[in-house]
Structure 1
Amino acid sequence: MNTNTVKTVFIIAVLCFTQFTNAQVYKDQFAHTFSIVARDVKTGEMAVGVQSHWFNVGSIVAWGKSGVGVVATQSFVNPAYGPNGIELMEHGTSATAALKTLVEKDEGRDFRQVAMLDVNGNVDAFTGANCVESAHQIIGDNFSVQANMMLNDKVVPAMEQAFKTNSNLPLAERIVKVLQAAQDAGGDIRGRQSAALIVVGPELTAQAWQDKLVELNVEDSEAPLVELERLLKVHNAYNFMNEGDLAVEHGDMKKAMEAYGTAQNMFPENLEMKYWTAIAMANSGQLRDALPIFKAIFEKDNNWRIMTKRLPKSGLLSVSKSELDRILKL
């Protein structure tokens, strides 16, 4: 069986499954909302960002897979667009063709709003005739912004403008700016409740747990975008901690301390970041410099002192008994 035949058989199978799922899902899942699907032309990363006045909007709207593409399915949601769209794109169907295929087979298409983007930058969107106004979409170069049940017609153009004017930012931060612009322009006529952001990479990953570069979900909040922005900063800070840990493993303490320092500047109130920095310093022969950090941490929460006593047995703290005593007596 040649490649084209295999591809044809696969698409037929997906369509058969889609016909079944579309018959079951019509107007029972609501996610009237604004969203963006986008690709960073420099890194190849792809993302979905969304906010809505609905609980846990990200769980049904935002879909993505590294090396494949992303999907936003909203309005009266048919969640099947997510996994089915990803499957079609993974097997070589462009985002445009995948969306066309799925919409044509959807009896509830007039109530749907969907956007798809693939790893090659192909992007398309669909807004059904019965989506609640204000409902619009704008498809651009490597992005699509779409919204329904908005307060006014300014929301989608504001999203487009924000995406174009924040091209200097990393993709995740750029997406947050787009969502903030939508809210500032009027946003969802009902208000706001939840938000989500996923970012996937340009290459397929061998391990499923490595697929999402960013996966943040604000399920219920009076200010979901404020919380989403905060979570993204925390996420980035912990990425620097991971960089520091890798540098320690390679014996590059200068690089490690730079990474740890960046993380702590981003999240200064986090004791755990300070603690593991001190542990890394103690393990690398910099106990004198680590002692003041340990002392400050122990004064705020004595549980970290108890933790320190346990670490040598696990091999996470490699100091002498006398050095351990110095730490614990702080």
Structure 2
Amino acid sequence: MTFSIVAFDKDANEVGFAISSCCWNAGSVCSAEAGKGVITHQAQGITKFHPIFFEQLKEKKDLEDILDHFRIIDDHIESRQIGFVSFEKGTSLAFTGKNCSFWAGHKTGENYACQGNILVGPEVINAMTHAFECTEGNLIDKLYAALYAGEGAGGDARGKQSARLLVKSVSDNAKDDNIVIVDFNIIDHEDPINEIGRLLTVRQNYREIAAMNKKFEQVQTAKERKAILVEILNFMKDKKESRYMSTWTNLGYAFYSMDCIDEAVYCYKTVFEISPTMVKTIKEAAKSVGVPDSVMKKIMEK
């Protein structure tokens, strides 16, 4: 009833997982610790094995030895499906118990373990591993590509309800060795994997806006600053949604401050298009900074 992939990226010092299922909150069966490893304990999985796994890693145990330890302490291991990776040792391992419901299986690669049960067939795992291996980009990109490919190949035979994608990294600060790069946990949704994809797109948009804003702050000449504002404006023209409200208001004020009135008017009209109830707020803000009535008249024109 679940398909997942756990993985690491040595070069980026990142670990992570992606998982989807027809069950509520599938992401709870996975755990990751930066610089250490990742585990998924699924099928009839039990999360109490997560801390045992990380304790065994701390003791420098090989994954094969950890699986042997699980066999000893778990009378029902043949009903479990486990995938894990060791960041420090650079290894991966997966296990599918003989009592896991059809179709169940797994595949491992140099830096990942991919597994699933109650799937439409082995094509799900094959599609996931192919996507992970062939996708260019960072660990987030590769994990999402694998998840999306698994769904495209048929995914969970019973349907879909939840999904999660998490990536962690080691911090330069010794006090915080688990920096969460991304954690999108969709616990109940009609299309959970595409919802993660949507959130990743929004996240990337925010990152690109932030990068352009930073560039704007670093340049000195008016010509350079205006060019960057125009670049931001062009990037934003298809993003007329409330989640980008602060970008539109800030952009409008930046254009106004540079005496680019037409561009400022366009930005503020976009603000009102997104949310007409912002009119009063903008009017009060304009008064406080001394925006001329002539400019406000242009902004308020229908």
TM-score (norm 2): 0.79
Q: Give the superposition deviation at 1:34.
A: 0.6
Task: State the secondary structure of the residue aligned to 1:290.
Answer: helix
Distance 1:259 1:90 in 2: 49
Q: How does 1:261-276 map to 2 (within 5 A)?
A: 264=236, 268-273=239-244, 275-276=246-247
Inter-partner Cα distance in structure 1 for 2:268 and 2:112: 47
Distance in 2 (CA, whole Å) between partners of 1:259 and 1:40 is 33
Q: How does 1:37-48 map to 2 (within 5 A)?
A: 37-48=6-17
- 2:266 pairs with 1:292: yes
Residue number among 166, 183, 200 corresponding to 1:215 in the alignment: 183
1:154 maps to 2:91: no
Could you tell me how far 1:110 is from its partner in structure 2?
1.6
The match for 2:19 among 22, 38, 50 is 50
Distance 2:217 2:25 in 1: 38
**Which ranges in structure 1 are unaligned for 5 or more consecutive residues?**
1-31, 314-318
- Which residue, 250, 253, 257 being the options, matches 1:282? 253
> How far apart, CA to CA, are the structure 2 residues paired with 1:207 and 1:303?
44
Q: What percent of counterpart residues are identical?
A: 25
The number of equivalent residue pairs is 291
Q: 1:23-69: CA deviations, max 9, x gaps?
A: xxxxxxxxx301001223543322211111101211x2222233332
Mapping of 1:1-330 within 5 angstroms? 32-58=1-27, 60-89=28-57, 92-93=60-61, 95-120=63-88, 121-166=90-135, 168-203=136-171, 211-247=179-215, 250=218, 253=225, 257=229, 260=232, 264=236, 268-273=239-244, 275-280=246-251, 282-283=253-254, 285-286=257-258, 288=260, 289-308=263-282, 320-322=289-291, 326=295, 330=300
Q: Offset at 1:108?
A: 2.5
Equivalent residue number for residue 19 of structure 1: none
After superposition, the Cα gap between the structure-2 partners of 1:261 and 1:73, relative to the gap in structure 1 and judged at 3 Å, is farther
Which secondary structure does the structure 1 equivalent of 2:146 belong to? helix
Unaligned runs of 5+ in 2: none
Deviation, structure 1 residue 141: 0.7
Residue 141 of structure 2 aligns to a residue in which SS? helix
RMSD value, Cα? 3.5
Q: TM-score scaled to structure 1, two decimals? A: 0.73
Give, as a single letter, the amino acid of the residue that structure 1 aligns with 2:277: N
Following the alignment from structure 1 to structure 2, what is the Cα–Cα distance between the partners of residues 298 and 128? 58
Which stretch of structure 1 is more off in the superposition, 141-150 or 247-256? 247-256
- Structure-2 separation of matches of 1:170 and 1:73: 25
Would the alpha carbon gap of residues 205 and 220 (structure 1) be closer, same or farther in structure 2, given more than 3 Å must change? farther
Which residue of structure 2 lines up, in the alignment, with residue 13 of structure 1? none
